[in-house]
Amino acid sequence: MGIVTYIKESFDELNNKVTWISFTEAQKSTVVVALFTVLFAIAVFLVDKVFQLGLEQYFNLFNK
């Protein structure tokens, strides 16, 4: 099987055998993924800040 045949069959399968979600559903899913990505980033940032402050306080105990 040549590369050209593989590409043709791949496009045929994508066009005729794959069930695609609607554009509206894709937009909604994209918004949900973006929202959860931002929320997760904020949560990681906050946990990082808590650990940073905790470690600073811990090491300041030994610098006095």
Q: Which residues contact 29 (CB under 8 A, 6 or more apart)?
A: 21
Would 4 be classed as within a structural domain? no
Nearest-5° Cα angle at 22, 17 to 24: 165
> Could you tell me the residue range of the domain that residue 57 belongs to?
22-64
The answer to whether the beta carbons of residues 29 and 21 sit under 8 Å apart is: yes
Segment 20-64, tens digit of pLDDT:
899 999 999 999 999 999 999 999 999 999 999 999 999 998 886
Residue 64 lies in a domain: yes
Q: Does a structural domain hold residue 12?
A: no
How many structural domains comprise the chain?
Answer: 1
> What pLDDT, on the 0 to 100 scale, is given for residue 62?
86
Q: What is the pLDDT of residue 63?
A: 80
Indicate whether 9 belongs to any domain: no
Residue 31 lies in a domain: yes
Q: Say if 2 falls within a structural domain.
A: no
Tens-digit pLDDT profile for residues 10-23: 999 999 999 989 99
Type and span of the H or E element at 5: helix 3-16
pTM of the model: 0.65
Q: Residue 48 falls within a domain, yes or no? A: yes
